[in-house]
């Protein structure tokens, strides 16, 4: 028995729900699909309301924008089954056995299962190239590699988790914004939740512009820094935070802060170009984080 849960904001999900519904019907498993709209524009609400025509499928709406963390909690509260399968709105299962692959893992001794992420082999238009290159380099990772550090790549766009575990972990996340997947992974590790990764990917379709993506990565770094400074992250497998802590230990964060101050604009120019460098993206992120840390301490 499974509840498939989809937070939605300004994206059309009818094709996704149709695919999932067909697979769930074939599985012979008791199921429900719930999509929760987080105060989208009216045109998306009208279109996505069509999913109510599918059996065991519900479209819910918020009267204001709550953000992804709280919307996922609303979905979990509404769900009636033990297993929750969360998907983002802008994805599509890669194969017709997607649901069955998760069903096969239900009897195993796992509390959370992450299916993985994939990207089209053909690059998008230049204005979206950074998101595509970063995703293929840092997110589209084989399950064997992900299982070596199971709490490192925990992408909320495609994972199955027991409802009791989700509610327990998510209750510790009281803020909303970008970067809280990192915190969710840290909490899974801190509470010794059994996590397993499998090659059961969804294709990421909603690739945003390079400028939007870079802004989100800055926001995620700010979130990570805030969690660190507030002593919220006790255990983790986050490379960016680990590197920042090492730099700070040897007082090298001042040097990286200078790099951002002196060369941040030049780095951004490359990252927003038609041929962005992913290694440079990593340098930009850590130098930005060091810069923000120093700025916060001086204010």
Whichever domain contains 76, its CATH number is 3.90.550.10
Domain boundary residue, one of 206, 223, 249 = 206
Instruction: Please indicate, yes or no, if residue 131 is contained in any of the structural domains.
Output: no
How sure is the predictor about 179, in pLDDT bands with cuts at 50, 70 and 90? confident
Q: What does the mean pLDDT of the chain come to? A: 96
From the list 149, 31, 147, the residue with the least C-alpha distance to 85 is: 31
Residue 257 · residue 293 · CB < 8 Å: yes
**pLDDT at res. 177:** 79
Same structural domain for residues 264 and 288? yes
Q: What is the per-residue pLDDT across 26-51, written as a single tens digit (0 to 9) for each? A: 999 999 999 999 999 999 999 999 99
Q: What is the per-residue pLDDT across 210-239, written as a single tens digit (0 to 9) for each? A: 999 999 999 999 999 999 999 999 889 999
**pLDDT at res. 175:** 82
How sure is the predictor about 298, in pLDDT bands with cuts at 50, 70 and 90? low
**pLDDT at res. 125:** 97
Domain boundary residue, one of 167, 188, 206 = 206
**pLDDT at res. 178:** 85
**pLDDT at res. 79:** 98
CA distance 8 to 11: 6
Same structural domain for residues 36 and 81? yes
Q: How far is CA 275 from CA 260, 270, 281, in A?
A: 20, 7, 12
Please give the tally of structural domains in the chain: 2
Give the structural domain span for 48. Answer: 2-116+153-206
Same structural domain for residues 253 and 224? yes
Asked if residue 299 has pLDDT above 60, the reply is no
Q: What is the per-residue pLDDT across 60-71, written as a single tens digit (0 to 9) for each? A: 999 999 999 999
Q: Say what the pTM is.
A: 0.96
CA distance 179 to 210: 17
The string of DSSP codes covering 156-218 is: TTEEEEEHHHHHHHHTT----STTHHHHHHHHHHHTT--EEE-S--EEE--PPPHHHHHHHHH
Same structural domain for residues 273 and 200? no
Asked if residue 96 has pLDDT above 60, the reply is yes
Residue 128 · residue 214 · CB < 8 Å: no
Asked if residue 162 has pLDDT above 90, the reply is yes
């Amino acid at each position: 028995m499974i509840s498939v849960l989809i937070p939605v904001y300004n994206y059309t999900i009818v094709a996704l729900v149709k695919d999932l519904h067909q697979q769930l019907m074939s599985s012979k498993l008791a199921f429900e699909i719930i999509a929760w709209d987080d105060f989208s524009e009216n045109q998306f609400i009208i279109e996505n309301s069509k999913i109510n025509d599918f059996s065991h499928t519900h479209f819910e709406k918020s009267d204001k924008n709550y953000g992804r963390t709280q919307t996922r909690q609303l979905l979990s509260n509404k769900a009636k089954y033990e297993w929750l399968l969360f998907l983002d709105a802008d994805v599509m299962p890669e194969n017709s056995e997607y649901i069955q692959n998760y069903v096969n893992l239900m009897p195993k001794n796992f509390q959370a299962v992450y299916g993985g992420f994939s990207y089209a082999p053909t690059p998008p238009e230049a204005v979206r190239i950074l998101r595509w290159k970063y995703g293929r380099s840092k997110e589209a990772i084989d399950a064997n590699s992900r299982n070596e550090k199971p709490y490192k790549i925990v992408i909320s766009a495609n994972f199955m988790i027991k409802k009791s575990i989700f509610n327990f972990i998510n209750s510790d996340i009281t803020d909303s914004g970008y970067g809280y997947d990192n915190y969710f992974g840290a909490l899974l590790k801190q509470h010794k939740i059994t996590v397993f990764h499998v090659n059961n990917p969804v294709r990421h379709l909603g690739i945003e512009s390079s400028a939007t993506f870079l802004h989100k990565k800055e926001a995620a770094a700010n979130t990570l820094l805030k969690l660190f400074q507030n002593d919220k992250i006790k255990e983790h497998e986050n490379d960016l935070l680990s590197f920042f802590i090492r730099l700070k230990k040897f007082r090298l964060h001042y040097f990286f802060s200078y790099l951002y101050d002196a060369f941040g604009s030049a780095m951004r120019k490359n990252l927003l170009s038609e041929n962005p460098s992913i290694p440079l993206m990593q340098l930009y992120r850590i130098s930005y984080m060091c810069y923000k840390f120093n700025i916060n301490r001086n204010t």
